[in-house]
Structures are given as C-alpha cells and as structure tokens.
Chains A and B, each alone.
Chain A
C-alpha cells in the first residue's frame, strides 16, 4: 500500500495529481480532511495519519477482522476499504466508543477476561457492536432458522454470536469468553 511519504510530504503539491484526491472522513464525530494517495486503505489512514491505532493490521487481506471499524454504522474490514471511496462517510473506531468512559461492551470484555494478547480485541468489539445492530435490524445469519420471520429483531444465542463473529479470528483462542462478553451486553 501507499507509504507515508506519498501522503504527508507530497500532500501539498499532490492535490491536483490524478493519483491523489482530497477526502473528508467524519471520524468518531470529527471531520478530517486529507489529501490522499488513491491507494491508501482506510486502516492505514486511521493508524498512520490520524494516530488512531486501535484498529489493527492483522492479515491486511480481509481474512482476520482485526481492522474492523464501523462505516456509516456498518462493520467492515478497514484494510479493504479504499479511503478515497469513503469521502463523506462516518467512521467509528474503537477509540470512538463509549461516552467519556468505556462502552458497556468494552467493560464486559474486561469483566469476562475476553482476551489474552488483546490484538484482535478492538476488531472483536467493533464487529460485535455491528453484529448486534444487524440482529436488531432483522438480519439473519447462516445458523438462523429460515422460518424466523423477517423484519423483526433476531434473537442472539451463543451459536448465533459465534457464527456472526466468525470473521474475527483470535489466535489466543479467547472465543468462549468473547461470547460471554457479548451475551452480557445483549441481555
């Protein structure tokens, strides 16, 4: 991906370049306008330009979920999102959760000991928040009984939580406690 010198040192002269664009992202409620090389992924912009290092670079190929953030309210892999394509979007990272203190799901991760090394945790938390909203909006999952009616909140048992969070890998294997933490906040 584009490295720092493409975006920082050359930014002033690059604005009119066909390989750069000015992009405004509303990150955790604050508008941030940047001139970006088109190659840059949202993850790299968050971490390198905006010093928001909560979202992690695990695989950088959309396979591990460590980079999960919410874009316009929906969880996505920020490593596969080109920042230029998100002009005007609302981005929420793990740093933007909670209202002054910790978000209840962050507290539940602490209470339930839902991590060991912690590398996947910001992605797990953002993903779980997205998954909870999806279920509330009536989105089914692979393990949802097809007979469950549409247009109503989908109940989230442990099997549902596990399936809906399958895009977030935890190499420490903290999965049982992660499910416990998510169950705590949906009760």
Chain B
C-alpha cells in the first residue's frame, strides 16, 4: 500500500477544503470497501480525509413527514431505526440482506452508496478493466461474468453495482444530499448512479470533491407497503444475483403507485419505469405483475453465462409485488 496523509475533518467545510488541498485525496467513511481496495492496490490515495466522525450521524424526522439519514449513520443503525422499519421497511430489509453484522456496524450510509463493484477483474490489478484503468479493456466481457449485468451495460463495462441499500432507496424515491464547492444539492437516488457508457470509471453523478451528506426518504412513500427480496448463491453474506425492492399503493382495486427497482442486474439500481407505467391503473394481479416485468426485462441483453438472471429477476419481482397487495384486494 502506498503511504498517505491522514486528515480528520471536523465539519463538511473542513472536509471539502482538505480534499481540495490534498492531490489524490479520498474521503474515508467506515473504510469497509476503500481500505480493502487500498490493500488490493486498486485505490492508491495520496491522502485520506476522514469523514467518519462528522456530525452527520443523526436520523431526523422532518416536518413534512420525510426522514433524513445522515451520511455517517452506520448501516446497522439505519436498519434498526424504528422509523425506517415501520415506514420504509424495504430499506431496513435491504440493509440487513447485505454484508455481515461486523461490516454493517462499520459501513456508513454515504460509503454504502459509493462502494465500488465487486467485479473480480476490477479488483485484480493484473487484469484489464476499463473502470479501474480506462482504455485497458474489459476482461469480464468474455471472462467469468455470471454475476454481471444484463441491463444497461456497454462494450466497455458489464459490472453491476453491489449495494442492496441503494436499490431500496431508488424504489422508495429517496434523494441523495451532496455538499461541494458549489454548495448543496440533491439528486434522486435512482439517478445518483450512472450507466457505464464509454465512461465506466465514473460510478455516480458525484462531482470531484463533493461529499454525500445524507439521504432523504420522502413522505410520499412513508407507510406504504414495501419489501426487499434478494436472490443469492447462499442464504447469507453474499452479493445479489438479482434483487428487487418495491413499494406499492393500491386503491379501489387498482395500482395507484408502484416503485420498483432491481439490484444485481446493472451498473446502477435499475428503476423499472416501464413496468411501473404499465401497472398504473391496473388490477394488482400476478398476471399483471408478470406482464409489466416482462415489458421491463425485454430490454435485457444477457452475457454468455448470465441469462438465468432475467427469469430470476422476473420471478422475484412478481413474488415481491404479489406480497405487497393488501389482503382485502387479493
């Protein structure tokens, strides 16, 4: 590992100033992914700006019924928070489906969003990877890619985003709050991560030096039935092959709101907008859910070894949506 300077920031302003003052700086949250990538030689920061103890550790109920989760709140604390469990249960379930107890205790909300792909070629500095080293090629395209993308990928990158939390945030219409040289701004969680296109080195819409300060769960999805379900190779402590977060509002026997996001299928949480549109006004039946998800997944372009993900995602999605229908309707 390359030697680096270390700065512990006391405020978001101090953090962004320190970032600007240190070439090659990286923000350090819980370190569960960054420190690992430094050990692997994938990340070689000249300085770490420690934001893990910034006063962004609160979960606040806002007057409009939304909930702000500070960027340094640990994943385990978000998952256990009564407001999250009671009103946005898919977020708690997504967090608990990810990593291990030890990792969730260290990992932060901001860091979870900014974690990198677990593509084995990205993590192996002896292999070509356009995300790690732009222009070097993609070893996964014709290599071991069973876990890789089926939607939205490009010739330059077929990696998936590994976060479970981000999938739930996308489905729940959460926003990501940012602080940087241009002040504060917020972006929809479903638009925070990017598709690879010809710039796979950029995972997100974050600008250089910008800091995630928190995420906001909106009142609009508070209290609606929501679920997260993850299919993986073992029952615990594994990344998703395919996962689904969904929130559903059914009134008068028809779907009035559907928020559906897939994990494990793409370079970002895949918000299933086509399926959502197809469900609006429809009766919430298994057939309608299957039809809507088929429309969405018609865009899938599986790689040589991961076509199984398409029916897997469909079936997990139909299951989740069916469970979200209130018993009086079903």
Q: Write the residues of chain A forming the contact surface with B, with a CB cutoff of 8 angstroms.
A: 1-2, 18-19, 21, 37-39, 41, 60-62, 65, 68, 74-77, 80-82, 84-85, 87, 127, 130-131, 134, 137-142, 144, 146, 150-151, 162-168
Contacts and interface: CB of A to CB of B under 8 A. Distances in A.
Contact of B97 (A39, A77, A142, A167): A142
A39 B3 CA distance: 7
A61 B133 CA distance: 22
Central interface residue in A87, A134, A165, A166, by most chain B CB within 10 Å:
A166
B6 A167 contact: no
A164 B32 contact: no
Interface residues of B, number: 39
Contacts of B92: 140, 146
Contacts of A60: 39
Given A38-B5, A39-B3, A137-B80, 14 more contacts: A1-B1, A19-B4, A65-B102, A68-B102, A80-B32, A80-B36, A82-B6, A82-B31, A127-B101, A140-B92, A142-B96, A142-B97, A146-B85, A167-B102
B80 A150 contact: yes
Given A38-B48, A150-B86, A74 B105 contact: yes
Contact of B105 (A1, A75, A151): A75
B297 interface: no
B72 interface: no
A82 B28 contact: yes
Central interface residue in B6, B89, B106, B235, by most chain A CB within 10 Å:
B6
11 contacts: A18-B5, A61-B39, A61-B40, A140-B85, A141-B101, A142-B96, A150-B81, A151-B82, A162-B236, A167-B99, A167-B100
Interface in B64-103: 76, 79-82, 85-86, 89, 92-93, 96-97, 99-103
